[in-house]
Structure 1
Amino acid sequence: MTGRQMAEDDPSIPQELRPDPADYSFDLAAALGAVVALKSRVPADAFSARTLGTEREGSGVIIRADGLILTIGYLVSEAESIWITTTTGRVVPGHALAYDFETGFGLVQALGRLEAPALELGPPEAPETGAQTVLAAAAQDEEGGALACSVVAKEPFAGYWEYLLEEALFTSPAHPSWGGAALIGPEGKLVGIGSLVLQHRDKRGRRVDLNMCVPVSLLHPIMGDLLSYGRVNKPARPWLGIYAADQDEGIVVASVAAKGPAERAGLRAGDRILGIDGAEATDLAGLWRTLWSRGAAGVKVMVAAERDGRRLSLPVVSADRASFMKAPRLH
């Protein structure tokens, strides 16, 4: 999975959706110049190789004059090599400096001069619903891969990979190359990083594609730790190693991480999770909140599940997800 899969189906942004520089009070061209393309290669034995592949492509945003780049972490986690390409075609190597599991942010440090501008981070508050923004991926042509959009919702987002944002940003129309894209606010500052494309049905039953972006407001309190330690300097959340989905019949396990806590405890694909430690879980968001409320990684929890009509109670010794992954190199 990469942040550009849809680009192959729709490689260009229609002219009517491209931002008009005259509509913005900031220098749009300069802001877009801070967006770079990222290509990473991950070892075949990396923990994430099975689910995310060994070759990943997406975008990132230069946020500091020394070549510090903010992106979405799945593009660069466990990477053994990263190549950065600027809008002017300059190519330099980089390395994965940090990855935060809670927000999903990744930091990359360029190992050469990018000769490109940096984009200022937005304020500690996320933009309001209705804010007119620009979502920009690495330039696909001389006009750049930018799309005029707006923030249509700010609400919780629960991911199947044990992930939860209490206030994610949802933008429309959707960008075809969302992974690591820069969400630029009305004042020309970076306010979000593109993470996913999601399908939503409107009141008429029509499919509407939205991008989910991680608010940059979440970066401010953790930036120091990411730069110093490569992760947030606090006890890790408990991790079960399950990939689950909200379905009509409840929370269903789609798969389990190889040699992860859930697999070792006997959870299987197809199991329906009912709750943790006696607390009922009716959706993914509730399940993750309950799990994380039990303490730090290493805590044992009792997972109530249903399999073939039988109710099970399985003790699962949680783990630190980072211990299963190749750590970023600190320089």
Structure 2
Amino acid sequence: MENQPSNKQNFTDTTTSPWKKRLASLSLILLGSGMTLAGGYIGNNHQQMSKKASDFAVSRVNAAPVLPANADPNFITQVVQKVGPAVVRIDSSRTVQSRVPDEFNDPFFRRFFGSEFPVTPRNRVERGTGSGFILDGDGRILTNAHVVDGTNTVKVTLKDGRSFQGKVLGKDELTDVAVIKIEAKNLPKVSIGNSDQLQAGQWAIAIGNPLGLDNTVTTGIISATGRSSNQVGVPDKRVEFIQTDAAINPGNSGGPLLNARGEVIGMNTAIIQRAQGLGFAIPINTAQRISNQLIATGKVQHPYLGIQMVGLTPELKQNINSDPNSGLTVTEDKGVLIVKVMPKSPAAKAGLRAGDIIQGINGSPVTDASSVQKAVENTQVGRNLSLQLRRNGQNIQVSVSPGAFPAQLQ
């Protein structure tokens, strides 16, 4: 059953019932991506330098897990000695113009305030420090997109003290990944691990420049994997994060998260303010996939369907069916409910409707919105996806060809 326009509007209104608020936070549309992640890029402009240390929300560091009896007690030192030379400091700056409000140009105000009244925009320079790590001996460096936001060149400092001017080859705001190139040869480089094989409880070692303190090492464990961007508090990103209790603070952004063998398994990127020992990293498999596209073309194409959705539960089903304004009757307890289809999107062109329940993609069952998003992200623009749906109690199959994520939504 296709909803009437008035019912659709009521269905997506998040101000009238609790389940609607829940739906609003689970959007695949990811509107806007200008948010700077909470933990990484420490600005050194005048206002930021005047902050107290407590403003940076430095979390209490959890104790590292006890080593097993047969482990080398110096293995962390060995990892740091191996990887440390390939971890760099990234200093960037950008000019920000302070706009004078239109009201300040009113002659009435200028007559009273005279020469003390601001009449022209003022420029100020914002400076920041982040981290990065060298991918190859020819000087390609991986870091966070927000570390290089607003600039095309940065200063890169190696552990041995050498400094280079770095050129930003490309950045992707949706995953917060950027690649920098410096002109140098025979550089130390990191070894890449496999983030798809991570399990909670494994060792995690972070190296970076938190709070401007160069070459800082912190340790902990992998607390969890597959944390959605909504759970982490950055719904505009397309990443399933690694969670760790290794201390990650402002300035760590872009630095490597390592396993016990010294392989990079993630790129440190975010902390949650007021959290106790919780940090997050972008899985290296995701970061490497994005960086390969940035190196090859300078940009990234993200597959896009154009739907808002939420995973069904018996409780959500009951809430929807008991809400007279929903315009829907849900008969399924499992699957992913399509809440809204964006006009002129690939989903709309394929005939998807609000109220459809996705139960499988390419023959594999799905039970939550993250599964659908991951399946879409792992395909390619223009490659068809086969969606198994329930619509009005009927099983149907729809083929949809993902488009490129619209630039205006990034």
From 252, 268, 277, the counterpart of 1:209:
277
Which of 254, 270, 274 is residue 180 of structure 1 equivalent to?
254
Gaps of 5+ in 1: 46-52, 201-206, 241-273, 297-317, 326-331
Residue type at the aligned position of 1:122? G
CA distance in 1, matches of 2:185, 2:53: 27
Distance in 2 (alpha carbons) for counterparts of 1:7 and 1:113: 38
Q: Give the secondary structure class of the aligned counterpart of 1:193.
A: strand
When Rg is computed on C-alpha atoms for both structures, the one with the higher figure is 2
User: 5 Å matches for 1:148-159?
Assistant: 148-159=219-230
Does 2:261 correspond to 1:193?
no
For 1:3, the aligned partner's letter is G
Whether contact under 8 Å (1:77, 1:96) holds in the other structure is: no
Q: How far 1:60 moved relative to its partner?
A: 0.4
In the alignment, is residue 3 of structure 1 matched against residue 77 of structure 2? no
Q: Match for residue 118 of structure 2?
A: none
The alpha-carbon deviation at position 193 of structure 1 amounts to 0.5
Equivalent residues of 2:206, 2:246 under 8 A apart: no
User: Structure 2: which 5+ residue stretches go unaligned?
Assistant: 1-35, 43-50, 98-124, 308-337, 342-353, 357-368, 382-402
Contact 1:42-1:81 at 8 Å conserved across structures = no
In 2 relative to 1, CA 90–214 (structure 1 residues): closer, same or farther, beyond 3 Å? same
- Partner in structure 1 of residue 115 of structure 2: none
Query: How does 1:194-273 map onto structure 2 within 5 Å?
Result: 194-199=268-273, 207-232=275-300, 234=301, 237=304
SS at match of 2:82: helix
Pair 1:65-2:117 in alignment: no
Cα distance change on mapping 1:279 and 1:88 into 2, 3 Å: farther
The one of 340, 344, 348 aligned to 1:276: 340
- Report Cα offsets for 1:224-255 as digits up to 9, x if no partner: 322111122x4664899xxxxxxxxxxxxxxx
Opposite residue 292 of structure 2, the aligned amino acid is G
Matched, 1:120 2:184: no
Corresponding residue for 1:29? Answer: 81
Q: What is aligned with 1:42?
A: 94
2-side partners of 1:170 and 1:186: how far apart? 16
Seen in structure 2, the aligned counterparts of structure 1 residues 113 and 40 have a Cα distance that, compared at 3 Å, is same
Normalised by the size of structure 2, how large is the TM-score?
0.50
Of structures 1 and 2, the one with the larger relative CO (CA 8 A, separation 6+) is 2
Structure-1 separation of matches of 2:216 and 2:277: 17
Residue 193 of structure 2 aligns to a residue in which SS? coil
What residue identity is the alignment partner of 2:244? T
Secondary structure of 1:125 counterpart: helix
Give the whole-Å Cα distance in 2 for the aligned partners of 1:38 and 1:152.
Answer: 28
Q: Quick one: which amino acid aligns to residue 189 of structure 2?
A: A
Report the structure, 1 or 2, having the larger strand content: 1
Q: Deviations over 1:155-186 (max 9, x none)?
A: 23225452232x31011042224311210111
Partners of 2:178 and 2:291 within 8 A in 1: no
Amino acid at match of 1:224: N
8 Å contact from structure 1 (residues 30, 117) kept in 2: no
1:275-326 CA-to-partner distances (Å, cap 9, x unmatched) read 523359xxxx67x959x89x98xxxxxxxxxxxxxxxxxxxxx99565699x
User: What's the % identity of the aligned pairs?
Assistant: 19
